[in-house]
A and B are shown apart, each in its own frame.
Chain A
């Protein structure tokens, strides 16, 4: 730690129970690694590619026809902000797997714009992850990952891929965009798994 700067507090903190090293924020910071993709809904698609190369594709209309869930969750960004009680609407990821046959244990989430992040399949099922398209009752804004993003709130938020386009199923775990540049392969905020080796 550097020398303390007198009178500097930075972001607000509170006494609520946050994962180690996290700070509470009320706003919704936008972190970007590139230009924000704009994806027209009539060409949008969500594709699961299994380890055998089999493709399953959903259009935006098909996504809208799937049963959705409203969830309120806390989110934790590896850059140390946490935001409590965020409200999303989306389709649980398990609903897509009702139609998919796979023996793979890992998924690579793939996004419009080229972003990727790896998540174990078990962490995407059983009410732990959603393909979300509404935030706070509004259509998900492009800078926050709209039209649809992955929301996996029990892992650091970089796992919640913005502009999600699909999942590539993998028999072996492979690192994604940030995971190849020093970030943890799993990313559990409560165990503070920020970086490789944590």
Chain B
């Protein structure tokens, strides 16, 4: 069976992030800890969007992890390890 790399983009984070943030987060600009690239959350590469254990968002510039999000029955776990800052539109 042929296999292609399966990632989508940060637009897919809109629902899960809207569950925990009051403001829309995919249009927020983030700066990557690893390479310094700045861009909207919507442009991140998101892995695990189809029934994976969690969502793993990577920088399109350096492929390092920017954020992870896991939804469990009791909690939403959010790892923002790869963000220097996030500028959220008010």
State the A residues within 8 Å of B (CB).
29-36, 78-79, 114, 141-143, 158, 178, 180-183, 194-197
B21 an interface residue at 8 Å Cβ cutoff?
Answer: no
A34 and B52 contacting across the interface, CB-CB below 8 Å: no
B53–A158 touching, CB < 8 Å:
yes
Residues of B within 8 A of A31 (CB): 48, 51-53
State in angstroms the CA–CA spacing of A119 and B56 once bound together.
22
- Determine chain B's interface SS by DSSP, over half rule: loop
Contacts of A143 in B (CB 8 A): 3
Decide if B5 touches A35 in the complex (CB within 8 Å). Answer: yes
Residues of B within 8 A of A182 (CB): 54, 70, 72, 75, 77
Choose among B52, B70, B73, B79 the residue that contacts A32 (Cβ–Cβ < 8 A). Answer: B52
A143 to B6, CA, bound (A): 10
Q: How far is the CA of A195 from the CA of B5 in the complex (A)?
A: 27
Asked if B70 and A183 sit within 8 Å, CB to CB, the answer is: yes
A32 to B52, CA, bound (A): 7
Residues of B contacting A32 in the complex (Cβ-Cβ under 8 angstroms): 5-7, 47-48, 52
CB pair A181 B54 closer than 8 Å: yes
Whether B52 and A195, one on each chain, are in contact in the complex, defined by CB atoms closer than 8 angstroms, is no
Question: Quick one: CB contact mask for B38-68 with A, threshold 8 Å, 1 for yes?
Answer: 0000000001100111101010000101001
Q: Is the CB of B3 within 8 A of A33?
A: no
User: Size of chain B's interface in residues, with CB distance under 8 A?
Assistant: 22
Q: Which residue of A lies closest to B76 (CB)?
A: A182
For the complex, give the distance between the alpha carbons of A88 and B77 in Å.
34
| Bound-state Cα–Cα, A194 to B58, Å | 24
In the complex, A32→B75 CA distance in Å? 22
- Is there an interface contact between B6 and A195, defined as CB atoms closer than 8 Å? no
In the assembled complex, how far is the CB of residue A140 from the closest CB belonging to chain B, in whole angstroms?
13
A114: which B residues are within 8 A, CB to CB? 65
Evaluate whether A195 and B73 lie within 8 angstroms (CB atoms) in the complex, with A158-B53, A182-B54 already known.
yes
Is B70 touching A181 in the complex (CB atoms < 8 A)? yes
Residues of B within 8 A of A141 (CB): 3
Complex formed: what's the CA distance from A197 to B75 in Å? 11
A178 and B48 contacting across the interface, CB-CB below 8 Å: no
Contact B73–A79 (Cβ < 8 Å):
no
B74 to chain A, nearest CB (A): 7
Which A residues touch B3, using CB under 8 A? 30, 141-143
Complexed CA–CA distance, A113 and B61 (Å): 16
Given contacts A30-B6, A35-B5, A114-B65, 13 further A-B contacts (CB under 8 A): A29-B51, A31-B51, A31-B52, A32-B47, A33-B56, A34-B47, A34-B56, A34-B63, A182-B54, A182-B70, A183-B53, A194-B72, A197-B74
